[in-house]
């Protein structure tokens, strides 16, 4: 087998909440050792089953951040931006009840890292689920 198999991480985004390092962070390790991600870039996208783009977040557009020595990457997404994702709920299918509220499976997502030499590593991938916003304004 060549390459690394990405981790499966089902991502639930709670619409209307901030998505940052305090909320969620991914650490890249090889053989249990943290990889220094200095000068790497990160990109995450989510798409519906039809291939329609749900989000496109990256270090290039300021929606992802990397802590090189810690080997970690995380999202930098405001509450208003996660609130806007709710438009995709109507096309999703109810997937579960969390605290009595339905969540909606809307597509799949993946996070890729690109090394300074151009090597692309898919770090994580999985199902994307959205939880509707309850508290507004």
How confident is the model at residue 90, as a pLDDT? 75
Give residue-wise pLDDT tens across range 64-91.
999 999 999 999 999 999 999 999 887 6
Q: What number is the average pLDDT over the span 28-37?
A: 94
Give residue-wise pLDDT tens across range 100-128.
677 888 999 999 999 999 999 999 999 99
Contact 58, 34 (CB under 8 A): no
Residue appearing with tokens 């050792």:
33
Predicted model pTM: 0.89
CA atoms within 13 A on the CB side of 137: 0
Kindly state whether residue 136 falls inside one of the protein's structural domains.
Answer: no
Give residue 124's domain range: 13-131
Mean pLDDT of the chain: 90
Kindly state whether residue 3 falls inside one of the protein's structural domains.
Answer: no
Number of domains observed in the structure of the chain: 1
Kindly state whether residue 39 falls inside one of the protein's structural domains.
Answer: yes
pLDDT exceeds cutoff 90 at 5: no
Rounded distance, CA 73 to CA 88, Å? 25
Kindly state whether residue 5 falls inside one of the protein's structural domains.
Answer: no
Rounded distance, CA 110 to CA 131, Å? 19
How confident is the model at residue 39, as a pLDDT? 98
Reported confidence tier of residue 2, pLDDT bands at 50, 70, 90 = very low
Q: The domain spanning residue 100 has which CATH number?
A: 2.60.40
């Amino acid at each position: 087998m060549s390459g690394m198999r990405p981790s499966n991480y089902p991502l639930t985004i709670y619409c209307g909440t901030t998505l940052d390092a305090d909320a969620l962070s991914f650490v890249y390790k090889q053989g249990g050792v943290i990889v220094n991600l200095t000068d790497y870039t990160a990109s995450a996208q989510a798409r519906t089953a039809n291939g329609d783009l749900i989000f496109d977040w990256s270090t290039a557009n300021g929606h992802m951040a990397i802590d090189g020595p810690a080997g970690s990457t995380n999202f930098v997404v405001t509450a208003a931006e996660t609130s806007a994702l709710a438009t995709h709920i109507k096309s999703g299918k109810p997937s579960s009840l969390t605290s009595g509220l339905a969540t909606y499976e809307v597509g799949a997502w993946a996070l890729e890292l690109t090394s300074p030499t151009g090597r692309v590593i898919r770090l994580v991938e999985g199902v994307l689920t959205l939880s509707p916003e309850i508290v507004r304004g």
